[in-house]
Amino acid sequence: MSGMFKYILKRIGIIFLTLIIVISATFFLMKLMPGSPLANAARLSGEQRQLIESQYGLNDPLMVQYWHYLVNALQFNFGHSFQFQDQPVSRLIAQRIGPSIQLGLQALVFGVISGIGLGAAAAVRRNTKTDTTLSILAVLGVSIPSFVFAALAQYFVGLKLGWLPIAGWEGFKFTILPTIALGMAPLATAARFIRTEMVDVMGSDYIELARAKGLSQNEIVWKHTLRNSLIPLVTLIGPMAVNLMTGSVVIEKIFAIPGIGGQFVSSILTNDYPVIMGTTIVYSMMLMVVLLVTDILYGLIDPRIRLAN
Partner 1 sequence: MAELNQVSAADFELLPNDRKRNNETIEKPSLSFAQDAWRRLKKNKGAFISLWVIVVIVAAAFISIPYANTTTTAEQNVMQQNLPPKAPGNLPGFNGKQKVDGERFDAYKRADVKKGEYHIFGTDQFGRDIFKRVLYGTRVSLQVALIAALMDLVFGVTYGMISGWKGGRVDMVMQRIVEIISSVPNLVVFVLLILIMKPGLFSIALGIALTSWTSMSRLIRAEVLSLKEQDFISAAKTLGTSPWKIGLRHLVPNVSSTIIVQLMFTIPSAIFFEALLSFIGIGIPVPMASLGTLLNDGQTAFQFYPYQLVFPALILSALMIAFNLLADGLRDAFDPRTRD
Please name which of 237, 252, 253 lies closest in space to residue 296, comparing C-alpha atoms. Answer: 237
280 binds partner 1 (CB under 8 A): yes
Q: How far is CA 208 from CA 214, 224, 230, 232, in A?
A: 10, 11, 19, 21
67 binds partner 1 (CB under 8 A): no
Burial (0-12, 13-18, 19+ Cβ within 10 Å), 265: middle
Q: What does the alpha-carbon distance between residue 279 and residue 90 come to, in Å, rounded to a whole number?
A: 9
Q: Is the dihedral of CA 109, 240, 264, 156 positive or negative?
A: negative
Nearer to partner 1, 22 or 177 (CB): 22
CA atoms within 13 A on the CB side of 296: 16
What are the two backbone dihedrals, phi and then psi, of residue 66, each rounded to the nearest 5 degrees? -60, -45
Smallest separation (angstroms) from partner 1 to the CB of 52: 25
How many residues of this chain bind partner 1 (CB under 8 A)? Answer: 43
Question: For partner 1, which residue of 153, 233, 288, 295 counts as binding (CB under 8 A)?
Answer: 288
Query: Of the listed pieces 148-156, 206-214, 216-224, 228-236, which binds partner 1 according to CB under 8 A?
Result: 148-156
11-30: which residues touch partner 1 (CB under 8 A)?
Answer: 14-15, 17-18, 21-22, 25-26, 29
Query: Of the listed pieces 39-47, 67-75, 210-218, 247-255, which binds partner 1 according to CB under 8 A?
Result: 247-255
226 binds partner 1 (CB under 8 A): no
Question: For partner 1, which residue of 51, 64, 139, 300 counts as binding (CB under 8 A)?
Answer: 139
Note whether 270 and 192 are within 8 A (CB). Answer: no
Intra-chain end-to-end CA distance of the chain, in Å: 13
Smallest separation (angstroms) from partner 1 to the CB of 9: 15
105 binds partner 1 (CB under 8 A): no
Question: For partner 1, which residue of 9, 101, 140, 300 counts as binding (CB under 8 A)?
Answer: 140
Question: For partner 1, which residue of 108, 250, 257, 260 counts as binding (CB under 8 A)?
Answer: 250
Query: Of the listed pieces 80-88, 97-105, 135-143, 201-209, which binds partner 1 according to CB under 8 A?
Result: 135-143
Q: What does the alpha-carbon distance between residue 117 and residue 111 come to, in Å, rounded to a whole number?
A: 10
Nearer to partner 1, 120 or 291 (CB): 291
Helices and strands, counts by H and E, the chain: 12, 0
Question: For partner 1, which residue of 71, 145, 163, 200 counts as binding (CB under 8 A)?
Answer: 145
Question: For partner 1, which residue of 291, 294, 298, 299 counts as binding (CB under 8 A)?
Answer: 291
Query: For the chain, what percentages of helix, strand and coil (3-state, to nearest 5) are there?
Result: 75, 0, 25
Please name which of 17, 36, 76, 68 lies closest in space to residue 273, comparing C-alpha atoms. Answer: 36
Q: What does the alpha-carbon distance between residue 111 and residue 109 come to, in Å, rounded to a whole number?
A: 6
Give the SS3 label for residue 275.
Answer: helix
Smallest separation (angstroms) from partner 1 to the CB of 54: 27
Other beta carbons within 10 angstroms of residue 252's beta carbon come to 25
33 binds partner 1 (CB under 8 A): yes
**Contacts to partner 1 by CB under 8 A:** 14-15, 17-18, 21-22, 25-26, 29, 32-33, 139-140, 142-145, 147-148, 151-152, 154-155, 159, 242, 245-247, 249-250, 253-254, 264-265, 268-269, 276, 280, 283-284, 287-288, 291
